[in-house]
Chains A and B, each alone.
Chain A
Amino acid sequence: AQSVTQLGSHVSVSEGALVLLRCNYSSSVPPYLFWYVQYPNQGLQLLLKYTSAATLVKGINGFEAEFKKSETSFHLTKPSAHMSDAAEYFCAVSSPQDSSYKLIFGSGTRLLVRP
């Protein structure tokens, strides 16, 4: 069975500092991997995805993530945090072998950006 672990339920950074949000997955086959962002009382917005092409994936708002098969990781980074990045971030996985493409989510990481 697939699973996703997000280390750190809360991450706090200063404005302008590097953002690093961690995601590790468990899957018997190379999965599809996603990062979504959720602002308060809103739905999920796709930031980026990995679907077996380039291992370094660039997304919206300056975010990027690197798929590392040997470490079963898909960490999200942004070189310089902005106040508007404060939100909840979810890592998710789906299996190419499961025709439903249903998503399995981690428990989320809340990003706080200090002025």
Chain B
Amino acid sequence: DTGVSQDPRHKITKRGQNVTFRCDPISEHNRLYWYRQTLGQGPEFLTYFQNEAQLEKSRLLSDRFSAERPKGSFSTLEIQRTEQGDSAMYLCASTPLGVETQYFGPGTRLLVL
């Protein structure tokens, strides 16, 4: 079984540009989570999906952020009009329904100049 994959691994962008990240969960994992990790801190929950339904969004997820999981498989996280404060590692995790253990991908490191 392959693990959670994320693409790209690194992204450098200029302030004001839009960026999109992709996460492919472990096959048949119903739940998919997004977290953000800033330098020197632990990851913080952003949002999660159960199949294609987005069930919860953190207050950290401003209007410039949108996440989708259209077919219940891969997910995308888009940030519009990026700001320097968006610079962080964006982590994706997945898990089967009803299981408390999350399996993380390698992350996408975003740098906004």
Contacts and interface: CB of A to CB of B under 8 A. Distances in A.
Note whether A and B form a binding pair. yes
A92 B33 CA distance: 15
Q: What bracket does the count of chain A residues touching chain B fall in?
A: 20 to 34
Interface in A62-114: 90, 92, 94, 96, 100-108
Interface string B12-29: 000000000000000000
Contact of B101 (A4, A46, A104): A46
Nearest to B31: A101
Q: What bracket does the count of chain B residues touching chain A fall in?
A: 20 to 34
Contacts of B56: 100, 102
B109 interface: yes
A103 B48 contact: no
Contacts of A96: 100
A44 interface: yes
A104 B91 CA distance: 14
B41 interface: yes
A100 B55 contact: yes
Contacts, number: 60
A115 interface: no
Contacts of B72: none
A71 to B, nearest CB: 21
B55 A103 contact: no
25 contacts: A4-B42, A34-B101, A42-B107, A43-B6, A43-B104, A43-B105, A43-B106, A44-B43, A45-B104, A46-B103, A49-B100, A90-B43, A94-B100, A96-B100, A100-B55, A101-B99, A101-B102, A102-B45, A103-B33, A103-B43, A103-B45, A104-B45, A105-B42, A107-B41, A108-B41
